[in-house]
Chain A
Amino acid sequence: MPLDIDRFAHVMSPLQRWDPRVKLASLGVLVICISLVKTVPVGVMALMSALVLVALASLPSSFILQGVKWVLVFLLPFLLIMPLSYPGEPAFHMLGLPFAWEGFRLAVLIVIKALAIVLCAYAMFGSSRFDISMIALQHLKCPKIIVQMLLFTYRYVFVFLAEMQRMDVAMRARGFVKRADRRTMQVMGDFVGTLLVRSFERTERIYKAMLSKGYQGEFHTMVVFKADGKDMVKAVLVISGAVLLLGMDLAGMFKIAEQGWY
């Protein structure tokens, strides 16, 4: 699983060049609109718009697929359970269970919307450096303390990931094999405890190092944002697209087409 979402932030594309503040705000509106869609055809259109956005960000498909794969694994139970458990008149019986098209439609809609939103998230955060995205969030009135903590946590995730992998190698070198038993759970508990003890000592050193560099509870940044006409044009395009999607959905433009579908 890739932890460095901003691995391809250096690639030049219309999304990378877009002012991060305007980009996050506009795509945020799009995400909200997509999450409110209730019909499959509009969902499909949203998914296609999201695909266009990711293509514009020129992120490699292998990179995106790694994340999308997990979303699909998580949503698989919905595709299986929803059609067979929908209340009301079933269309037919499958393996003795009532199969309802409405449940199936709902499950398909859920999968499509989830994919569209995940792709939007890649377009949002995959096209700027992580720290710049966070500072942009702060400009968008995200509480300062949350932004600062996010930057910290992100910084140390990689440190502790490496630490955990070292400990894991050491444990396996001594012959430890994970099994489905109580002992494994006991060892994993001790493992997590050790990780915490080591990091707790580290927090102290980190804090002292920061104090000595003049930390007073504020982060200073040299990032300067500048939004020009082009940025605004992109914002207007995305937001009007988002509103159009939601409008079509609310107006029920595809209700009839969808009812004829099953």
Chain B
Amino acid sequence: MHISDGILSGPVLAVGFVGTAIIAGLTLRKMDIEEIPKVSVITAVFFVASLIHVPIGPSSVHLILNGLVGVVLGWRAFPAVLLGIILQAILFGHGGVSVIGVNTLMMGGGALAGYGLWQLRHFVSMGRKEVIFGALAGGGAVLVSGLILSLALVTTGEQFNVMAGAVLLAHIPIIIVEAFVVGAAAGFLARVRPQILAGGNTTPLADRTPA
């Protein structure tokens, strides 16, 4: 889900760019040279994976996976989403150049929320908790993104109130799909290669070597 050019007001667009710059600055801190290629390559995977379509009822939705970005990259999820949004704007023209800021706040905010939910698993002890908290992160990330999108529409003007409601409704099936898919992916990674998952140990992505 993303918003297109030409809808939001100037101030909302400006807030998007400023907010994105600040959060990107914070989440890019202490990035060493080893992390640059690794985070970028993982971003490419997510970019490609978001082209996957999953059937839902008579129609289909494409995966968003911003929750899984948070689960895998932790704080670095925000710059990863920023890269994805910029590429989307440049390569497809959907999304759009003037809304890069707003879209990054929306999807990246969701990704960080997903990471937060994912981290809650440390307070719980049960079997297969990665699936449960992966699902929470996957669904929660899309929910937060949908809420930010609605907020952007409502603050642009009251004529968008109904549209904002419609947008939230349209997010419900996506939240369900994302919860299942991200839950499954997190469970799979926990079984197969747990060191890919963020926040499980103290070593950052760069220092983790494949077994």
Question: Which of A's residues lie within 8 Å of B, judged by CB?
Answer: 1-3, 5, 28, 31-32, 34-36, 67-68, 70-71, 74-75, 77-78, 81-82, 85-87, 102-103, 106, 109-114, 116-118, 120-122, 124-125, 130, 133, 145-146, 148-150, 152-157, 159-161, 164, 178-180, 182, 184-197, 199-204, 206-207, 210, 215-217
A117 to B97, Cβ gap below 8 A? yes
Cα separation A243 to B173 with both chains bound (whole Å): 43
Cα separation A262 to B48 with both chains bound (whole Å): 45
Cα separation A122 to B38 with both chains bound (whole Å): 29
Contact check: which of B40, B57, B94, B180 meets A153 at CB < 8 Å? B40
Contact check: which of A2, A113, A145, A204 meets B28 at CB < 8 Å? A145
B170 shortest CB reach to chain A, Å: 8
Q: Tell yes or no: B119 within 8 A of A by CB.
A: no
A192 to B181, Cβ gap below 8 A? yes
B87 to A154, Cβ gap below 8 A? yes
Cα separation A234 to B70 with both chains bound (whole Å): 43
Encoded as 1 (CB less than 8 Å from any A CB) or 0, chain B from 24 to 57 comes to: 1000100101101111111111011101111111
A5 to B90, Cβ gap below 8 A? yes
B189 to A121, Cβ gap below 8 A? no
Contact check: which of B91, B166, B189 meets A193 at CB < 8 Å? B189
Number of A-B contacts (CB under 8 A): 232
A180 to B39, Cβ gap below 8 A? no
Q: A145-B36, A178-B55 are in contact. Are A35 and B93 (CB under 8 A)?
A: no
B90 to A194, Cβ gap below 8 A? no
Q: 8 new A-B pairs (CB below 8 Å) besides A82-B159, A161-B48, A207-B38?
A: A78-B163, A110-B4, A118-B96, A157-B44, A180-B56, A189-B186, A193-B188, A197-B196
Size of B's binding interface in residues, CB under 8 A: 72
Highest count of chain A CB atoms <10 Å: which of B93, B183, B189, B196:
B93
A3: chain B residues at CB < 8 Å are: 91
Cα separation A201 to B82 with both chains bound (whole Å): 23
A28: chain B residues at CB < 8 Å are: 97
B184 to A189, Cβ gap below 8 A? yes
B182: chain A residues at CB < 8 Å are: 189
B141 shortest CB reach to chain A, Å: 14
If over half of A's interface residues share one DSSP class (helix, strand or loop), that class is named, otherwise mixed; here it is helix
Which residue on A lies nearest to B90, using beta carbons? A125
Some 22 contacts from A to B, beta carbons below 8 A apart, are: A67-B92, A68-B93, A70-B93, A71-B93, A110-B7, A114-B5, A125-B90, A148-B36, A149-B79, A149-B83, A152-B44, A157-B47, A180-B57, A185-B177, A185-B184, A186-B184, A189-B187, A190-B184, A190-B188, A195-B45, A197-B189, A210-B37
Encoded as 1 (CB less than 8 Å from any A CB) or 0, chain B from 137 to 161 comes to: 0000000000000000000001101
Cα separation A199 to B46 with both chains bound (whole Å): 10
B42: chain A residues at CB < 8 Å are: 196, 199-200, 203
